[in-house]
Amino acid sequence: MTTTAPLHRSTRGAFALLGAVQVTLIFTLAAIAVPLPRIGDEFDLRREELILLSAAYGLTFAGLLLLGGRLADRHGGRRTLTMGLLLFGLASAAAPLAPGYDALLAARFAQGAGAALIAPAAMAVLRTVFPSPAAYGGVMATWGGLSVLGATAGNLLSGVISALLSWRWAFAVPLAVTVAALALAPRLLPAAPGKPPVHIGYEPVERPARPRLDLPGALLATVGLISVSYGLVLTDAWPWASGRVLGPVAAGAVLLAVFVRVEQRAPDPLLPPRFLLDGRRALGLAATALTAAGTATVFVLFSLHLQDERGWSALRTSAAFVPFAVALIASGRVVGRLIGRYGPAVVTGGGLATGAAGLALLALFGLDSGVPYAYGVLPGFVLLPAGAAASFAGAAVLATDRVPAERTGLAGGVHNMAMETGPTVVFALVLSVGSDAASLAATAALFGTAALTLRHARP
CB 126 within 8 A of CB 7: no
Instruction: For 190-244, write each residue's pLDDT tens digit.
Output: 875 544 444 434 444 444 455 566 778 788 888 888 888 888 877 777 777 888 8
For residue 284, pLDDT over 80 is answered with yes
* Residue 167 exposure: Cα atoms within 13 Å on the Cβ side: 20
What confidence category does residue 151 fall into, taking pLDDT thresholds of 50, 70 and 90? confident
CB atoms within 10 A of CB 427: 23
Instruction: For 155-173, write each residue's pLDDT tens digit.
Output: 777 777 777 888 888 899 9
- Residue 2: the pLDDT is 43
- Residue 213: the pLDDT is 66
Mean per-residue pLDDT of the chain: 82
Nearest to 226, CA basis, from 67, 62, 109: 62
- Residue 442: the pLDDT is 87
For residue 422, pLDDT over 90 is answered with no
- Residue 360: the pLDDT is 93
Report the C-alpha gap between 382 and 395 in whole angstroms: 20
CB 440 within 8 A of CB 362: yes
Q: Where are the domains of the chain?
A: 9-193+270-456, 215-269
Report the C-alpha gap between 67 and 271 in whole angstroms: 10
- Residue 418: the pLDDT is 85
- Residue 1: the pLDDT is 39
User: Per CATH, the architecture of 9-193+270-456 is what?
Assistant: Up-down Bundle (1.20)
- Residue 110: the pLDDT is 95
What is this structure's pTM? 0.81
